[in-house]
């Protein structure tokens, strides 16, 4: 059988031949690519020359290119367009990959060569980029068990393989639970308060499922507006409880044991490697490089936001009472009364904004923003193979017409797609023998679909989400590095969110909205009063929003600063971890940890604080843009040169200071958030 994953890809720009790839191709391709990569490692270890940067570190960075491109395809598809057979392959392949990864980091001859190169740092003339790559490789080997004794290595292998399988299963369970639930309404009176656009979408969903009436789901374009606008409190309660109890219902998709196992196994690995906690182990190469620094940072923001959060909560509670609400304000009441109060105070809500944010215009505006700032341009290309007909592809060129990247964008929810939005890559940038290999970048989202009567109209949150993921994609597309391991978004976890969160700021700027936001029916320009209200409302409820984000950060750190295995149920553990941020009455049967994919399925373990950390950076960075002009070419060029192009080739703090001229201050964030 000819396997397209192992052939040269004769496609435009060497893009993946999705039209030729079938699920059955993946496992044999991975097995073959592992053999090839193992031979590449053997060439490095069998080299009789004295170990140096080129024949050891750079060669190691280049090893396994074929394996890398196959696995990026497999796991990206498993997130964006999966099915049962593909999930089965991912589960089968994951232990093989972990085993091979262990074979590398536990390879004594290879580690001995890396140590020799590392010890020569003081006498060899390395570039800053080479020093960073060397430090990262050395650290990865240490964290990969390279210094462990023989018996400990066996246990290390077993744990790491189990963790890889558990994390995949965790994500699969959340997806299953999200897809399983539906709120089926047959009485039109139960649609009270809901916008017509949502009702139309729910009618279409019911039709797809061969049911009468309307169907609402836990996917964000359905769930969020339902919680914001439904007048039926008992239905809001049903929706929230379904969403907040995903993978926590005692069925075959329950994650409570998986979460606890993952945390305990991570602790065991950390202890084996000489660390007190997993957080201490993982934070060593971050900007906030100790658990104490992270906890102090979270506490500092907590002290600043708690009074504002309590004030916000009281405002919503008293407003709800004025609207006839009796009894305690519950979680399923929050979004509903929040939207009503915001509408009253600012005469603005998503239904007013959506007509000005048609997806087609938003896309043009967001891509055009990159043209304005950095001079790059996007050309639609319909000949590039895609994994689903809805995926759009663009060629990306620099101001001098040099090729930069291919950009894939996949906008709408499907049963086979994980929730949320993310940026990923099918190929990272590198410079190989003078040849600049350009990246293949993808944005995946779950935005509101078009209906039979209207185009896809985005909520304001969907607009900022697209800007956020586009910021990540710029980081991936504009990078100019030598080594793949340092290019694009291969940076410290608490630095990676700077480019993405920085881009969100433009959504609040009149100077940008004024250039493109027009009504999808009348083509009327978005009124200046509405733009002003967007800005005015930007700090509304920000105290509560900050506290909520901090609660996730505290929960993440609680799971990853344990010094003994967790043997209590995860609800009790979670209650203690989040207690000081809690404003609502507790509800039996709800749990965040069981569906907290960022830390148990993704790469944010002991790193969720990074979103708030990066907010400090992005607020400070954007304040520089507002001082010099948000479209200022020189400021944008500096941001591109010192942040977007550099990847992980220098210390994040040094990169930031080169751009900003000073270290970041928390004051800009506190001011922007209305906390001071």
The residues annotated with a catalytic role in the active site are 469
Using CA atoms of 622, 626, 627, 629 in order, give the dihedral in degrees to the nearest 10: 120
**Of the candidates 132, 129, 14, the residue with the CA atom closest to the CA atom of residue 65:** 14
Burial call 446-458: b when 16+ CB within 10 Å, e when fewer: bbbbebeebbbbb
CB contact at 8 A, 301 and 550: yes
Q: Exposed, middle or buried, 123 (CB in 10 Å: 0-12/13-18/19+)?
A: exposed
**According to the 3-state scheme, what is the secondary structure of 533-567?**
HHHHHHHCCHHHHHHHHHHHHHHHHHHHCCCCCCC
Map residue 297 onto helix, strand or coil. helix
Using CA atoms of 568, 569, 574, 576 in order, give the dihedral in degrees to the nearest 10: -40
Using CA atoms of 539, 628, 502, 488 in order, give the dihedral in degrees to the nearest 10: -170
**Interatomic CA distance for residues 676 and 668, integer angstroms:** 10
CA terminus-to-terminus distance, the chain:
65
CB contact at 8 A, 60 and 117: no
CA-only gyration radius of the chain, Å: 25
Main-chain phi, psi angles of 307, to 5 degrees:
-60, -40
Strand positions, DSSP E, 331-382: 377-380
CB contact at 8 A, 582 and 554: no
CB contact at 8 A, 30 and 70: yes
What DSSP string runs through 101-117? HHHHHT-HHHHHHHHHH
**Interatomic CA distance for residues 656 and 670, integer angstroms:** 19
Q: What is the chain's length?
A: 676
CA dihedral for 259, 265, 268, 272, sign (positive or negative): negative
Distances (CA, A) of 365 to 368, 383, 498: 5, 24, 21
What DSSP string runs through 50-71? PP-IIIIIIHHHHTTHHHHHHH
Strand positions, DSSP E, 366-439: 377-380, 392-397, 403-410, 422-427, 430-432, 435-437
Distances (CA, A) of 284 to 133, 278, 296, 423, 450: 15, 11, 16, 25, 46
Burial call 269-290: b when 16+ CB within 10 Å, e when fewer: bbebbebebbbbbbbebbbbee
CA dihedral for 556, 558, 562, 565, sign (positive or negative): negative
Map residue 524 onto helix, strand or coil. coil
Residues with Cβ within 8 Å of residue 578, at least 6 apart in sequence? 551, 554, 555, 592
């Amino acid at each position: 059988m000819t396997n397209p994953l192992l052939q040269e890809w004769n496609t435009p720009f060497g893009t993946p031949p999705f039209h030729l790839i079938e699920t059955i191709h993946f496992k044999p391709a991975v097995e073959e690519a592992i053999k090839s990569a193992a031979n590449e490692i053997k060439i490095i270890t069998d080299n009789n020359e004295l170990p140096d940067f080129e024949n050891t570190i750079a060669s190691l960075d280049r090893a396994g290119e074929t394996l890398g491109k196959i696995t990026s395809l497999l796991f990206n598809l498993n997130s964006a367009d999966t099915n049962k057979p593909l999930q089965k392959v991912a589960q089968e392949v994951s232990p093989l990959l972990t085993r091979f990864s262990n074979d590398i980091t536990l390879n004594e001859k290879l580690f001995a060569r890396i140590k020799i190169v590392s010890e020569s740092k003081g006498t060899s003339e390395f570039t800053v980029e080479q020093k960073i790559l060397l430090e990262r490789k050395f650290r990865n080997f240490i964290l990969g068990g390279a210094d462990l004794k023989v018996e400990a290595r066996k246990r290390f292998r077993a744990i790491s393989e189990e963790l890889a399988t558990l994390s995949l299963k965790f994500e699969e369970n959340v997806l299953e639970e999200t897809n399983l639930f539906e709120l089926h309404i047959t009485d039109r009176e139960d649609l009270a308060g809901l916008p017509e656009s949502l009702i139309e979408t729910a009618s279409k969903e019911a039709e797809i499922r061969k049911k009468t009436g309307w169907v609402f789901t836990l996917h964000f374009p359905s769930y969020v507006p339902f919680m914001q606008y439904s007048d039926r409190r008992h239905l809001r309660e049903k929706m929230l409880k379904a969403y907040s109890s995903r993978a926590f219902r005692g069925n075959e998709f329950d994650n409570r044991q998986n979460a606890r196992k993952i945390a305990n196994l991570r602790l065991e690995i950390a202890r084996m490697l000489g660390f007190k906690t997993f957080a201490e182990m993982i934070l060593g190469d971050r900007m906030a490089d100790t658990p104490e620094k992270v906890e102090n940072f979270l506490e500092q923001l907590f002290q600043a936001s708690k009074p504002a959060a309590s004030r916000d909560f009281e405002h919503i509670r008293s407003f709800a009472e004025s609207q006839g609400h009796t009894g305690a304000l519950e979680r399923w009441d929050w979004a509903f009364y929040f939207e009503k109060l915001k509408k009253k105070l600012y005469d603005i809500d998503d239904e007013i904004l959506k007509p000005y944010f048609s997806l087609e215009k938003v896309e043009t505006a967001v891509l055009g923003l990159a043209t304005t700032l950095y001079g790059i341009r996007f050309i639609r290309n319909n000949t590039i193979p895609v994994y689903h007909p809805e995926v759009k592809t663009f060629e990306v060129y620099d101001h001098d017409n040099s090729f930069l990247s291919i950009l894939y964008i996949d906008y709408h929810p499907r049963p086979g797609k994980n929730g949320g939005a993310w940026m990923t890559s099918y190929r990272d940038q590198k410079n190989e023998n003078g040849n600049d290999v350009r990246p293949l970048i993808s944005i995946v989202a779950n935005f509101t679909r078009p209906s039979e009567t209207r185009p896809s109209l985005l909520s304001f949150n969907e607009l900022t989400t697209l800007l956020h993921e586009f910021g990540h994609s710029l980081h991936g597309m504009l990078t100019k590095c030598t080594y793949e391991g340092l290019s694009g978004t291969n940076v410290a976890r608490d630095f990676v969110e700077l480019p993405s969160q920085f881009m969100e700021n433009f959504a609040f700027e009149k100077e940008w909205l004024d250039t493109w936001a027009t009504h999808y029916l009348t083509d009327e320009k978005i009124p200046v009063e509405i733009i002003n209200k967007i800005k005015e409302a930007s700090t509304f409820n920000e105290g509560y929003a900050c506290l909520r984000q901090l609660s996730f950060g505290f929960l993440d750190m609680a799971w990853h600063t344990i010094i003994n295995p967790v043997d209590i149920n995860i609800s009790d553990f979670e209650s203690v971890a989040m207690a000081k941020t809690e404003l609502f009455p507790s509800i039996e049967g709800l749990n965040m940890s069981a569906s907290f994919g960022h830390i148990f399925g993704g790469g944010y373990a002991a790193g969720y604080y990074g979103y708030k950390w990066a907010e400090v950076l992005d607020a400070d960075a954007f304040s520089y843009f507002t001082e010099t002009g948000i479209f200022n070419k020189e400021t944008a060029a500096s941001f591109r040169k010192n942040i977007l192009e550099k990847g992980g080739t220098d210390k994040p703090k040094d990169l930031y200071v080169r751009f900003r001229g000073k270290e970041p201050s928390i004051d800009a964030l506190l001011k922007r958030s209305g906390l001071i």
